[in-house]
A and B are shown apart, each in its own frame.
Chain A
Amino acid sequence: MIKRSFIGLIKPRMRYQAIELTPPEPRKIPAPKQVTLLLNEPYDPFGQGKSPQLKKGDPIKTGQKLALYEDSDAYVVSSATGTISALSALIGDFGRSYTAISIDVAENEEIDEQFPALVKDTSLETVKHFLTFIPGNLPDVILSPNGSSTPIETIVICGVDRDLLITANQHTVVKESSSVKRGVEILKQITGIDNIIIASPEHLMQDAGLSGAEVRVVNPVYPASLPKLIMRDLLGRVVPAGKTCEDLGVAFISVQAVASLGKAFNEGRIPVYKHFNLINKDGTSVLVSAIIGTPVRDIFAAFNIDAGEKDRIIFGGPMTGESIYSEDHPIQPDTDAVMIQDQKSLALVSDYPCINCSECIPICPAKIQVNMLVRFLEVGKYQEAADEYDLYSCIECGLCSFVCVSRIPILQYIKLAKYELGRISRAEETNV
């Protein structure tokens, strides 16, 4: 953990982890006994008036597309061969609901024939129907460019990692440049968007250049790789408060998704191995490769990590990740890191009030008056916070909570406020 410098006048500068010149191959985790796939659709077998087409005991092949109902758009792609052992509902952060599909893995792997039959035809339809659940996660907005309010004109490929201690994206830039190149060609072909930019750290400029996309360099200091700062620094466009990058016609995609896209058409099968960093209790970070759906339990077992009571398991990096409450939680297509913290070294929050110390003011990349904002958020005055103290300017980097002397969970308050305001405005829209 990065501690306050003795000379507190100097504000903490946290640099992103830079990958080694010749990075070692990621450590491959063998296929687990059970995989779990999280389908982005609520599981409600009795309420919908229609019955799910998946049920316990169904045989599943690797690469098979699994949708809950015949007419649903959401699907997952099985990363293993076996039989469905359970279907259950799962509630994530901020009320997101998923269907968890657990598959008992069989010994012999069989590849589903549907995608390989279509591989000759690189069309938007094929990608849409088979390749959104690939390692790295293909965002919908790229595949349905008219879905957002402004048509997408620019695609930014993130060759940088979102958070500290992570090298998964950089590894893809260095090691999988041919797949990335193919992926960029496919992206151009299926979307018709020619303006494709790759955001890369300075030391990987040459590797990033091989992709055929236009290379722009990202500052190596956190939080420069967050989408809204990439928009400002690399594209020179400031996202107005409350708008998204997509509203300005810019879509973001991780370099791993681009590589997976290229690989899928190069090899004629849907890739299932996801690269991510495992950040151990001592802060060391190693690159791991495991199939999507592998429970973290198996990953800890492979590294002899003992996850004890009250430890904290985090999906994502130390600044922006999400903590999970079970070792059964699976690796997902967008998991870039799994982090474990020992219970002895947890940074905990407190219910102390803001003392107006001003640590959060110079560190905020969005120049928000965090000291005033948090006073409104603490008492639930979300609308006032948005109107007067720039709630929607926040890019959710977490630096204010990181330096907060009173240890207020500021980022949590901010996200909660945005969620609550979103809920209210949605409810108002449906009432009209």
Chain B
Amino acid sequence: MNLAGSAERRRRMFEQKKFTVSHAPFWHVGSSVSTRSYNIIFAALPAVLFGVFTYGIPAVGVIALSVSSAITWEIAFNKVAKRPPCIGDGNAAMIGLLLAMLLPATAPWWLVITGTFVAVIIGKQIYGGIGANPFNPVLVSLAILTLSWKNFLDFNEVLVNYDFSYPMAYPLASLKHFGVFAISNLKPAALLMGQQSGGIGAIFGLGLILGGIYLIIRGYIRWEISISFLAGVWITALLFNMADPAHYAGPVFHLVTGYTLIGAFFLATEDSSSPVNFIPMLIYGASAGVLTVLIRNIGAFADGVVFAILIANLINPLVDKIRPKALGKVI
């Protein structure tokens, strides 16, 4: 504004200082999308490092290729779609890392690159990018890989050359094919400490729990989803186990094997595809947990986490309609 006369006004227009003008509020709490992504990556590190120490250089190769190819796909899409590059938000790197954590250390290079393509382009970008994906991109990718190249994701088959002091049969496959007897010698504590076969970053339960607690305390994931997911798994497995202990494994076994823990803390909690209200979060988490055990116990697949969370993603928009009444709403 200039409140002087017109000649004076013109003279002063050039001398006026330019101030920043914007809308309230003028404070911000200081959070950003990139800190969020990097904190999730940081929280995943204990499990990732354990996987690297267990499986060695092949695991490093899969992780590095997965992260780098996810970022590359993202920037390639940005170029093609003529959008400003968005790899700086760390979301593509996070998707790459989470996908690598689910894959076996021996996954061939083309499988990893195809996986990140499906996750970043089909799972996220074609829906409009970050925040617009209806399904968890990592799970969309893993589901397609599982259905397309089943043998490359069969842990018993691909990890056959690894020989450790503990049994290297994939626990959930043993349970599925040989029943409770086959897993009777597995100790939950040993399984929790990573003495099992499985995905690079999915075997070290303790590390995943630590990472999850970190994310909950820092407020980067919604604890309601994690807790209700675990509760859903636990209760359903317990009911099956109580009904027929000779046929169905106990709840603790289901909690510490397969993708349960990584699912609870890193996959089901993905921002865009999960609800934001309290009751919907509980329904969403619990239904994913229930479905996980249903698929494991009476379904076609050894592990049910991937499809269970994808189906829960599907009901997310519907359950999130259960919301508190807004102030002064008249209906």
Residues of A within 8 A of B (CB): 1-4, 6-10, 12, 36, 85-86, 88, 90, 100, 102, 228, 232, 238-243, 307-314, 316, 318-329, 339, 341, 343, 346-349, 352-359, 361, 365-369, 371, 390, 392-393, 395, 398-399, 401-407, 409, 411-412, 415
Could you tell me if A310 and B27 are in contact, using CB atoms closer than 8 angstroms? Answer: no
List residues of chain A with CB within 8 A of the CB of B130.
Answer: 352-353, 355
Question: B323 an interface residue at 8 Å Cβ cutoff?
Answer: yes
In the complex, chain B residues whose CB is within 8 Å of the CB of A228: 327-328
Select which of A311, A318, A393, A411 is within 8 A of B326 by beta carbon: A393
- Give the Cβ gap from B28 to chain A, nearest Cβ, in Å: 3
B92 vs chain A, min Cβ distance (A): 13
Q: How far is the CA of A367 from the CA of B324 in the complex (A)?
A: 6
Give the chain B neighbours of A1 by CB distance below 8 A: 27-28, 30
State the Cβ distance, A388 to closest chain B Cβ, in Å. Answer: 10
Q: Please, how many angstroms separate the alpha-carbon atoms of A329 and B216 in the complex?
A: 46
Give the contacting residue for A390; candidates B27, B89, B223, B329; CB below 8 A: B329
A347 and B28 form a contact (CB under 8 A): yes
Q: A241-B330, A312-B19, A347-B28 are in contact. Are A9 and B3 (CB under 8 A)?
A: no
Pull 8 A–B residue pairs with CB atoms less than 8 Å apart, ordered by A. A86-B4, A309-B18, A323-B23, A353-B129, A355-B131, A357-B271, A369-B277, A401-B28
Give the residues in chain A near B2, CB-CB below 8 Å.
Answer: 88, 326, 328
| Interface mask (B314-331 → A, CB under 8 Å = 1, otherwise 0) | 000000000111111110
Cβ-neighbour of A88 out of B3, B28, B223 (below 8 A) = B3
A32 to chain B, nearest CB (A): 12
**Is A401 within 8 A of B36, CB to CB?**
no
Q: Which B residue's beta carbon lies closest to that of A88?
A: B3
Taking the closest CB of chain A, its distance from the CB of B78, in whole angstroms, is: 14
Residues of B with C-beta under 8 A to A412: 23-24
Do B23 and A100 touch (CB < 8 A)?
no
Residues of A within 8 A of B32 (CB): 405, 407
Using A7-B217, A323-B26 as known contacts, say yes or no to A356 and B272 having CB atoms under 8 A apart.
yes
- Given A8-B220, A324-B21, A349-B22, decide whether A358 and B16 contact each other with a Cβ distance below 8 A: no
Residue B296 CB within 8 A of the other chain: no
B3 near A358 (CB under 8 angstroms)? no
Known: A353-B132, A368-B326, A401-B28. 19 other contacts (CB 8 A): A3-B29, A4-B31, A8-B31, A9-B219, A12-B29, A243-B328, A307-B17, A311-B19, A312-B19, A312-B22, A314-B26, A319-B25, A328-B3, A347-B28, A355-B33, A357-B271, A361-B276, A393-B329, A406-B131
Alpha-carbon gap, A341 to B28, bound state (A): 13
| Closest chain B CB from A261 CB (angstroms) | 29
A102–B3 contact, CB under 8 A?
yes
Report the Cα distance A232→B22, complex, angstroms.
Answer: 30
B102 vs chain A, min Cβ distance (A): 22
Tell me the minimal C-beta distance from B30 to chain A in angstroms.
5
B residues apposed to A, CB below 8 Å: 1-5, 16-33, 36, 89, 128-132, 216-220, 222-223, 271-272, 274, 276-277, 323-330
A406: nearest residue on chain B (CB-CB)?
A: B33
Whether B217 and A8, one on each chain, are in contact in the complex, defined by CB atoms closer than 8 angstroms, is yes
Q: Which residue of A lies closest to B25 (CB)?
A: A398
Task: Rank and list the top 5 A-B pairs by shortest CB-CB distance, nearest first.
Answer: A8-B219, A347-B28, A398-B25, A412-B23, A366-B327
Q: How far is the CB of A391 from chain B (nearest CB, A)?
A: 10
In the bound complex, do residue B19 and residue A310 qualify as a contact, i.e. CB atoms below 8 Å apart?
yes
Which of B17, B24, B271 has the most C-beta atoms of chain A within 10 angstroms of its own C-beta?
Answer: B24
Give Cα A320–Cα B23 distance, bound, in whole angstroms: 9
CB proximity of B266 to chain A, nearest CB, Å = 15
CA distance A389 to B285 in the complex (A): 24
Most interface-central of A313, A348, A353 (chain B CB within 10 A):
A353
Minimum CB–CB distance from B136 to chain A (whole Å) comes to 12
Known: A6-B218, A310-B20, A358-B271. A401 touches B327 (CB 8 A): no
Contacts of B27 in A (CB 8 A): 1-2, 318-319, 347, 402
- C-alpha gap A198/B128 in the complex (Å): 51
**Which of chain B's residues has its CB closest to A93's CB?**
B23
CA of A367 to CA of B33 in the docked complex: distance in angstroms? 23
Q: Which residues of A contact B5 (CB under 8 A)?
A: 85-86
Which residue of B21, B131, B217, B219 contacts A356 across the interface (Cβ within 8 Å)? B131
In the complex, which of the residues B21, B23, B132 has the most CB atoms of chain A within 10 Å of its own CB atom?
B23
Q: Are A401 and B33 in contact (CB under 8 A)?
A: no
Whether B327 and A393, one on each chain, are in contact in the complex, defined by CB atoms closer than 8 angstroms, is yes
Which of B19, B33, B128, B272 is close to A405, meaning CB atoms less than 8 Å apart? B33
Please report the C-alpha to C-alpha distance between residue A57 and residue B324 in the assembled complex, in whole angstroms: 60
